[in-house]
Structure 1
Amino acid sequence: MTVRLNPYIGFRDQARQALAFYATVFRGEVTLSTFGDAGLAQDPADADKVMHGQVIGEDGLLLMLSDAPTGMDAPTVSNISVSLSGDDAEALTRYWDGLSEGASIVEPLTPAPWGDAFGMLTDRFGVTWLVNISGAVD
């Protein structure tokens, strides 16, 4: 048996753009369905909104996103952070570089006191990311 914990990020109406962005960062494939596809668009303006979308990236990374239909509250700010960690410095640095485009850097990706490289940013969609690369960094 397998159990996974997958980040699921909600937007008002930016899920499609975010999916395309994250697909380039994580070298992944996008699948999505809209409220219109499912026959669940009570408001015609919701027909093209993403009911469920996901990016399946390299190394099995999975990120899910959706838009909020009209009449449903949508978050204005995120109160969680998504963490990427491991010892694959090349991949994690590449993810950092991709996520950094248009982002606000909270902490640059630099050596940390605990011996890893660590960085924190808020991407162009308002999602906060923490990146930790295990091991000593030159």
Structure 2
Amino acid sequence: MATVNVYLTFNGNCKEAFDFYKSVFGGEYPYIGTFGEMPPQDGKEMSQEDQDKIMHVSLPISKETILMGSDTGGEWASSLKIGNNISVSINTDSKEEADKLFNGLSEGGKVTMPMEDTFWGAYFGMFTDKFDINWMVNYDDPAKMQQHP
């Protein structure tokens, strides 16, 4: 069974926004990380400004719902517009379910990141469907997640 959450994308003010949401909803961040904490990507240098931006943050707001977000930077920043900065994030119980939902929902759309194993231990992909809705599909393999706290 899959769970669905909202994923918000910001242009440099993700931390400020999430601190505000946290002040309203309460709770704690189970994870907050910056782009500077990521392993180097293809030998590309990242500006200090981009290194300080939020790569991922999550804030549980109920037993069933997690508000998630990140900043955008580099080549992705130019495509961010208010209105396309919200994605539907699906977390699945299996790799097979992740592939089924990704392949089905992305049919006729544009894949922006194919399903693949990530450095943070998840099997993850992103796309925009044929109705211009942004989606993220994620499967947290318990065996791999134990290696990446």
**In 1, Cα distance between equivalents of 2:5 and 2:19:** 18
- Residue 10 of structure 1: aligned partner: 9
- Residue 45 of structure 1: aligned partner: 49
Is structure 2 residue 31 aligned with structure 1 residue 26?
no
State the TM-score, normalized to the length of structure 1: 0.50
The root-mean-square deviation of aligned C-alpha atoms, in Å, is 2.4
> Which has the larger Rg?
1
Alpha-carbon distance, 1:58 to partner: 3.6
State the TM-score, normalized to the length of structure 2: 0.47
Aligned counterparts, 1:67-78, within 5 A: 67-72=71-76, 73-78=78-83
Distance change (3 Å), C-alpha of 1:20 and 1:74: farther
Q: Is the 8 A contact 2:27 2:61 kept in 1?
A: yes
Gaps of at least 5 residues in structure 1 are 83-138
**In 2, Cα distance between equivalents of 1:80 and 1:44:** 23
- After TM superposition, where is structure 1 displaced by more than 3 Å over at least 4 residues in a row? 79-82
1:76 alignment partner AA? K
Alpha-carbon distance, 1:7 to partner: 0.5
Distance change (3 Å), C-alpha of 1:50 and 1:81: closer
Alpha-carbon distance, 1:43 to partner: 1.8
**In 2, Cα distance between equivalents of 1:81 and 1:8:** 6
Instruction: Say which structure is richer in helix.
Output: 2
Alpha-carbon distance, 1:27 to partner: 1.6
Alpha-carbon distance, 1:61 to partner: 2.5
**In 1, Cα distance between equivalents of 2:67 and 2:20:** 12
2:18 alignment partner AA? L
How many residue pairs end up in the alignment? 81
Is structure 2 residue 64 aligned with structure 1 residue 65?
no
